[in-house]
Amino acid sequence: MAQNGDAQPNENQNGGDSQPNENQKAASLEQETEVDELLRYRRTSKTPLVCKLDSVRKEILGLAVPAVLALAADPVASLVDTMFIGRLGANDIGAVGVAIAIFNQLSRITMYPIVSITTSYVSEEDTMERLGIEAKEAEAFKLQNLEEGAARNAETKVATPENGETKVATPNSIAVSIKSPSVTSPKAAPRKRGKRNVPSATTALTMGTLLGVAQALLLMFRSKVLLRIMGVKTDSPMYVPATQYLTLRALGAPAVLLSLAMQGVFRGFKDTRTPLYATAIGDGMNVVLDPTFIFVLHMGVRGAAIAHALSR
């Protein structure tokens, strides 16, 4: 009898150890199935494996293609801008070229840091917020299951027939049919996200505006010094149009840096299409306003600078 009593715990222990072994076998079988499917795809498909579009590659392309198009829109608009200004004469196109070089060099000091840093921080905070929401929903789902389990255990007798109904025997011995409540996972229903509170986005927009104002003040009040550093002397025929263009173009500096900060915010939210649409609209306005201010209103270089500032 003692031997039988000792054998029973061993059998239970062996039965408990068999469950992890079965899980390991199932996992290894699943891995072998994936490898077999991959090898079968390589043998039968004419498309290279690198060109296969899975969910990850599709997401990367969906983010990268609009971002690349947004970067390509500005040079195209600048070429159109140069085409219109080039009709004014060699001195005007040379003056605008020097002024644009100064403006771009100052913008690049803050352009790339503000976009990259904003994208990183916004993406991190948005991810943490999403994980927090999912954790709260999972906790609420777990508490709901516990409450419903406690309510079912409080019944006197529970029997589950084949039709999926729960028959409860009341104290009067009358069988009452109660359908078990269907509990769905919080992931089953699509989550609608409203307004998101991301502090780094607010900070980035504020910093972009302040840096843009500082850049505008520097260009407006120190344009002559910057032009002399670039080699444009006061007696040069390019000096006056370059000063006019740089001073008026500086009015759009706050909008430029603010739009760059907004691009970083949208990229942090995995949205690269909205910046593309905004860039395309701004560049389209520049193409329309340039000939209007330059030739129709006869403002010359000053009209080109005002058109570019308004289009931002």
Q: Would you list the domain boundaries of the chain?
A: 55-136+198-311, 139-179
pLDDT of residue 292: 94
Contacts for 218-222: CB closer than 8 Å, 24+ residues apart: 218/106, 218/250, 219/102, 219/103, 219/106, 219/246, 219/247, 219/249, 219/250, 219/253, 220/247, 220/250, 220/251
For residue 137, the one-letter residue type is E
pLDDT of residue 210: 92
pLDDT of residue 119: 85
pLDDT tens, position by position, for the chain (312 residues)? 444 444 444 444 444 444 556 666 666 666 667 667 666 655 565 555 556 666 778 888 888 899 888 888 877 877 888 889 989 999 999 999 999 999 988 888 887 788 888 888 888 887 887 787 878 888 888 888 887 777 777 765 445 555 544 444 444 444 444 444 444 444 444 455 556 677 888 888 898 899 999 999 999 999 999 999 999 999 999 999 999 999 999 999 999 899 889 988 998 888 999 999 999 899 889 989 999 999 999 999 999 999 988 988
In contact, 311 and 285? CB cutoff 8 Å:
yes
In contact, 66 and 275? CB cutoff 8 Å:
yes
pLDDT of residue 122: 86
3-state secondary structure string, 206-244? HHHHHHHHHHHHHHHHCHHHHHHHCCCCCCCCCHHHHHH
pTM as predicted: 0.65
Sort residue 239 into left (φ over 0), alpha (ψ -120 to 50) or beta.
Answer: alpha
